[in-house]
Chains A and B, each alone.
Chain A
Amino acid sequence: MNMQCEQFEQMLEQQELGALPKPAQSHLETCAACRALSADFSAIHEMALELGAEDIAPPERVWISLRNQLEAERLIHDPQEAPRSASQSGSGWWAAIQRPALAGAFLGLVLAAGSALGYFSNAPQISVQSPLMPQQEASSMPSADSVFKEEVLTVGSDSIPGLQRQDTAVTDSIRRNLQIVDNFIAICEKSVREQPDNQMAREYLYGAYQQKAELLATAMNRSMTGGLQ
Chain B
Amino acid sequence: MNATLSSPVRVSALGAVMAGFMLAASPAHADRIEKHFAVQSKPKITVRNSSGRIQVKAWTKQEVQVAWTSPSGKTVVETEQAGNRIEVAKLMNEDGAAGDDSKTDFEITVPIESELSVRTDSGNVTVDSVHGDMTFDTVGANLQLSDVNGYMVVKTIDGSLVCNRCAGKLEANSISGNVQMIQPALDSVRVQTSSGNIFFDGSFLSRGIYIMKNFSGTIEVHFSSNDSFDVNASSLKGDVINQATFKPDTHGTPHAASKWGHSLFGTMNDGHAKVELSSFSGTIKILQRE
Interface residues of A (CB under 8 A from B): 164-170, 173-174, 176-177, 180-181, 184, 187-188, 191, 195, 198, 200-201, 204, 207-208, 211, 214-215, 218, 222, 226-229
B140 pairs with A173, CB closer than 8 A = yes
A residues less than 8 Å from B140 (CB atoms): 169-170, 173
Please measure, in the bound complex, the distance between the C-alpha atom of A191 and the C-alpha atom of B215, giving whole angstroms.
13
A-B CB proximity, top 3 nearest: A227-B50, A177-B175, A165-B96
B window 267-286: CB within 8 A of A: 278, 280-281
B98 pairs with A165, CB closer than 8 A = yes
Please measure, in the bound complex, the distance between the C-alpha atom of A222 and the C-alpha atom of B120, giving whole angstroms.
10
A200 touches which of B50, B91, B158, B260 (Cβ 8 Å): B260
CB closest chain-A residue, reference B216: A184
Q: How many B residues have CB within 8 A of the partner chain?
A: 35
Question: What are 27 of the A-B contact pairs (CB < 8 Å)?
Answer: A164-B92, A164-B96, A165-B92, A167-B50, A167-B98, A167-B121, A167-B122, A170-B50, A173-B122, A173-B139, A174-B139, A176-B158, A184-B194, A187-B280, A198-B236, A198-B260, A200-B234, A200-B236, A200-B260, A200-B261, A200-B278, A207-B192, A215-B175, A222-B139, A226-B92, A228-B91, A229-B48
Check B144 for interface membership: any CB of A closer than 8 A. no
CB closest chain-B residue, reference A166: B98
Residue of A164, A200, A201 with most partner-chain B CB within 10 A? A200
13 more contacts with CB within 8 A, not counting A173-B140, A184-B215, are A169-B99, A169-B121, A170-B121, A170-B122, A177-B175, A180-B176, A180-B194, A184-B216, A187-B280, A204-B236, A208-B194, A211-B194, A227-B50
Instruction: Report B45 CB to chain A, min CB distance, Å.
Output: 16
B280 pairs with A168, CB closer than 8 A = no
Instruction: Report A215 CB to chain B, min CB distance, Å.
Output: 7
B residues less than 8 Å from A201 (CB atoms): 236, 260, 280
B102 pairs with A173, CB closer than 8 A = no
Instruction: Report A166 CB to chain B, min CB distance, Å.
Output: 8
Contact residues of A: prevailing secondary structure: helix
B residues less than 8 Å from A169 (CB atoms): 51, 99, 121-122, 140
A residues less than 8 Å from B50 (CB atoms): 167, 170, 226-228
Instruction: Report A180 CB to chain B, min CB distance, Å.
Output: 6
Check B258 for interface membership: any CB of A closer than 8 A. yes
A residues less than 8 Å from B121 (CB atoms): 167, 169-170, 222, 227
B48 pairs with A195, CB closer than 8 A = no
A residues less than 8 Å from B216 (CB atoms): 184
Assuming the contacts A168-B98, A215-B175, A226-B50, asked whether A173 and B215 have C-beta atoms less than 8 A apart, the reply is no
Assuming the contacts A167-B98, A167-B121, asked whether A181 and B175 have C-beta atoms less than 8 A apart, the reply is yes
Instruction: Report B253 CB to chain A, min CB distance, Å.
Output: 15
B residues less than 8 Å from A227 (CB atoms): 50-51, 121
Check B157 for interface membership: any CB of A closer than 8 A. yes
The 0/1 profile, CB within 8 Å of A marked 1, for residues 170-212 of chain B is 0001011000000000000000101100000000000000000
B window 48-96: CB within 8 A of A: 48, 50-51, 89-92, 96
B175 pairs with A168, CB closer than 8 A = no
Please measure, in the bound complex, the distance between the C-alpha atom of A177 and the C-alpha atom of B193, giving whole angstroms.
12
B102 pairs with A167, CB closer than 8 A = yes
Please measure, in the bound complex, the distance between the C-alpha atom of A227 and the C-alpha atom of B104, giving whole angstroms.
13
CB closest chain-A residue, reference B159: A173
Please measure, in the bound complex, the distance between the C-alpha atom of A222 and the C-alpha atom of B156, giving whole angstroms.
13
The 0/1 profile, CB within 8 Å of A marked 1, for residues 209-249 of chain B is 00001011000000000000000001010000000000000
A228 pairs with B48, CB closer than 8 A = yes
Instruction: Report A70 CB to chain B, min CB distance, Å.
Output: 14
CB closest chain-B residue, reference A173: B140
B window 104-162: CB within 8 A of A: 119, 121-122, 139-140, 157-158
Assuming the contacts A181-B175, A198-B260, A211-B194, asked whether A168 and B139 have C-beta atoms less than 8 A apart, the reply is no
B89 pairs with A228, CB closer than 8 A = yes
Please measure, in the bound complex, the distance between the C-alpha atom of A67 and the C-alpha atom of B139, giving whole angstroms.
23
A residues less than 8 Å from B195 (CB atoms): 180
